[in-house]
Amino acid sequence: MKKNKTIQPDINEFMDKVKKMEKGEKLDLSSDEDLSIGIMNLISMEEHFFFTYNKTKDAKYLDLLNEVREIRKSALKRIIKDYEGEVWCISKHLLAASMRFMEVGTKSLTKGDKKGAKDMFQKSYQLYSLFWGLNLGLVRTKDVRRSNSQKITLINDDPKPKKKGSTSIFAKLGEVVQKAIDCCKE
């Protein structure tokens, strides 16, 4: 199997940026993480204004939707600087889906369904990690493949992991995001 070597330098470069961030240098993903959560909530507000307009037929909700949309677009531009094709929209929908899965997980937890909540929270985090993978240049379509087990993996991943567990793209991205983003750093 031919292995794609371009992803490894990207990950190494990214981890170097993370180390610089830890030393107080210029990369501050914790602010971008806060902003991404804010963007998720703006997307939810757009949805609520849409449904409220349709229930009430009061045009002020369309005006509010448009105002919130403009704020969301401006905020997304701070995170999504370079993109090709549909990456802008994919990013927006990854954040929206991540937020919705998180909300379903929270509702499951409230009902006492911890197993269902964990499943929704895992899916939410996977989508959120994919958002960061796309927007930090760690994932490009040429860097992924579908394995026989139908898992999506990075091309340079070893198809037979040495450690027990998944080598899916979501697992790899989750590890990177966990190392890179620490919301408790100020």
Express each pLDDT in 33-85 by its tens digit.
899 999 999 999 999 999 999 999 999 999 999 999 999 999 999 988 777 77
Q: Name the β-bridge partners of 153.
A: 145
Q: What is the pTM of this model?
A: 0.69
d(CA 124, CA 97): 7
| Tokens linked to 39 | 């963007």
| Tokens linked to 26 | 């210029």
Task: State the pLDDT at residue 166.
Answer: 47
| Tokens linked to 35 | 């902003």
In this structure, what DSSP letter does residue 169 have?
H
User: What confidence tier does 31 reach under pLDDT thresholds 50, 70, 90?
Assistant: confident
Helices (H), 57-168: 60-79, 87-110, 114-135
